Amino acid sequence: MWPASICIAAAYIPGNIKRVLKHPMLVGVKTWAFAHLCANGDLGGIVLFGSVLAWAVYDRITLKRRKDAGAPPIPVGGAKNDIIAIVIGTIIYLALGFVFHPLVVGVPAFATPALGH
Angle between helices 2-12 and 79-95 (to 10 degrees): 130
Q: How far apart are the first and last CA of the chain?
A: 29
CA distance 1 to 112: 17
Instruction: Give the range with max mean pLDDT: 7-11, 15-19, 95-99.
Output: 7-11
DSSP, res 1: -
What would the pLDDT profile of 34-92 be if each residue is shown by its tens digit? 999 998 888 988 999 999 999 999 999 988 887 776 666 666 778 899 999 999 999 99
- State how far the Cα of 1 lies from the Cα of 35, in Å rounded to an integer: 7
> Where are the alpha helices (H) located in the chain, listed in sequence order?
2-12, 16-21, 24-39, 43-65, 79-95
Helix/strand/coil (H/E/C) assignment for every residue in 85-96: HHHHHHHHHHHH
* Of residues 91 and 114, more confidently modeled: 91
